[in-house]
Homo-oligomer: A and B are copies of this chain.
Amino acid sequence: MNRISGERESTGDGDPETGDQGRRRFSPDAVVLPVLRGLAQVDFMPSALCGVFFAVALFAAGWQYGLAGLAGSAAATLTAAVWGVRADRVTAGLEGFNGCLVALAAVVFLGPGHLSSWLFALGGAVAVAVVTSALVTLLGTWELPTLTLPFCMVASAMTIAAPEFERLWHGRPEIAAFAQSAEGPTTLDWGDLWRAFFADFGQIFFMPQWYVGLLFLAGIFVASRPAALSAALGSVVGIVAAWALGSPAADVRSGLLGYNAVLVSIALTAVFVVASGWSVAYAVIGSAASTGVTGALTDVFAPMGGHTLTWPFVLITMLFLLAVPALPRLQRN
């Protein structure tokens, strides 16, 4: 359970062949486990138990979010299976995690009270399955994982497009605007700090509540203690970087400046780079950089009415992984 295979291997709980036969005989395991792993793979964990924790966390934030996350993971996984994507990827949840996030984004940003948001969420989950396959081919040239890039692409397109479509936007005003300079107190007290620490885990799934974040962290912990440690380090680095740069305390407290740092840190120490003192230092640089990039993308997306999503994590992690072959202190996993 402590072994992390991230995006590159099958899960190990059952060989892919069996999984494939299982799907044909409709074993519930072969249907339910990949969907739960789809939730867990958002944080690189190929563990269905971790997925249970993540589902509980989403339901704790609101039943609509739990439902959307599971439905999105299921829709993308099913689409991939129907079109014949390799069984080991499907079984490991690697085809589901982007769908989970796309469906959540649709429900969060377009409103859970509209049927249109739910239909669009399912359409987005189908589209993200194609985009995932496309990026596996494209990024394979440099042995890069897709990370959440499929989600970022589809969810950005969805949320930026929504105001152009009346049956999705329901007459709300357009949200495109120039970003404004940051304002408000930047001092963090103890209550800000611990709330920010946990919220950094929840914001990966758009949830700002500290107790939701705690459940996500618990899910990572049961799947892999080293990954939980890396994630905690990333959260701390993100908070320190945000404080040093002068982010408003309210944003830090709700996890907006640290959720990318969490993902960067897991990716660069526990999943794609061989763990070492150098890789921890590398992850610290990358996590801090992701907080800076978060600020930049806020200003980039504001005039088009878009959201930052996990673009900072994707951009920083891909750059830092691409650099590894040129840096002999580090080694790819």
Contacts and interface: CB of A to CB of B under 8 A. Distances in A.
A226 interface: no
A165 B141 contact: no
A138 B322 contact: yes
Interface string A277-321: 010000001101100111110111011111000000000001111
A188 interface: no
Given A141-B142, A166-B246, A136 B182 contact: no
A161 interface: yes
Given A164-B298, A304-B303, A329-B83, A131 B182 contact: no
B246 A165 contact: yes
Interface of A: 83-86, 123, 126-127, 130-138, 141-142, 156-158, 160-169, 171-174, 176-183, 186, 244-248, 278, 285-286, 288-289, 292-296, 298-300, 302-306, 318-323, 325-330
A304 B299 contact: yes
A137 B319 CA distance: 10
A77 to B, nearest CB: 14
A39 B322 CA distance: 25
30 contacts: A83-B278, A85-B326, A123-B292, A133-B322, A133-B323, A134-B318, A134-B326, A135-B322, A136-B326, A137-B323, A160-B295, A161-B292, A161-B296, A161-B298, A162-B295, A163-B179, A163-B182, A164-B181, A164-B247, A164-B298, A165-B246, A166-B248, A169-B181, A169-B246, A174-B179, A174-B180, A176-B303, A177-B178, A299-B306, A303-B304
Given A137-B325, A299-B163, A181 B172 contact: yes
Contacts of A329: 83-84
